[in-house]
Copies of this chain bind each other. A is one copy, B any other.
Amino acid sequence: MSTEKRAVILVSGGLDSTTVLAMARAQGYACYTLSFDYGQRHRAELLAAERVSAVLGDVEHKVVKLNLDSIGGSALTDTDLAVPEEETEGIPITYVPARNTVFMSIALGWAEVLGAQDIFIGVNAVDYSGYPDCRPEYIAAFETMANLATRAGVEGQKLSIHTPLMDMGKGDIIAAGVALGVDYELTVSCYQADEDGRACGKCDSCRLRRQGFEDAEVRDPTRYF
């Protein structure tokens, strides 16, 4: 195995995960980026994930297909449910059951194959407080489980789950990314982006993003339809 410091980075093509990728690169990691084709409505995400991975200098970008839409339960995968355009209380309908758990599990498998001891994910407890799998206590429990699940764990290597955005507001995330040279025009955050990656400007994700650029006092490069 090479002596380079390898990491698996979960990259959705959105603003958060793109910032995380820039952070991991700045820390000297050889970055293996992982995206999922899971029946999400916003397929423009996958194109954006490929674009940002290339621009930010990944070693390899992999897209794993899995049909999470077959288990249903979220407005992001179930076409019978509407994406809400107003703020909602509690766990949002855009929450995909066990999504982060599934994604990090597959990242764990790839990390094991690569001999990587680090996984980066852009979860955030500030903006996504309604998602159970975006909380620090959940991430800590996943890390404990991961270290019992794998060959590396058995052999005494420590696998770490990095969540550098956990306690950051959207404005701080954008300011950090801009400082690292991230071009946010490459990214797509909208839950119902069109094929060209243009955003609705109305969904939860668009509202948070737009507010973030205002807070960071950075020009919003998002193309709206």
Q: Which residues of A contact B (CB under 8 A)?
A: 62, 64-68, 70-73, 91, 95-102, 105-106, 108-110, 112-113, 132-133, 135, 137-138, 141-142, 144-146, 148-151, 153-154
Contact = CB atoms under 8 A, between A and B. Distances in A.
A107 to B, nearest CB: 9
A110 B67 CA distance: 12
Contacts of A113: 71-73, 97
A144 to B, nearest CB: 5
A84 B44 CA distance: 43
A141 B101 CA distance: 13
6 contacts: A64-B71, A66-B66, A73-B112, A91-B151, A98-B108, A98-B112
A141 B150 contact: no
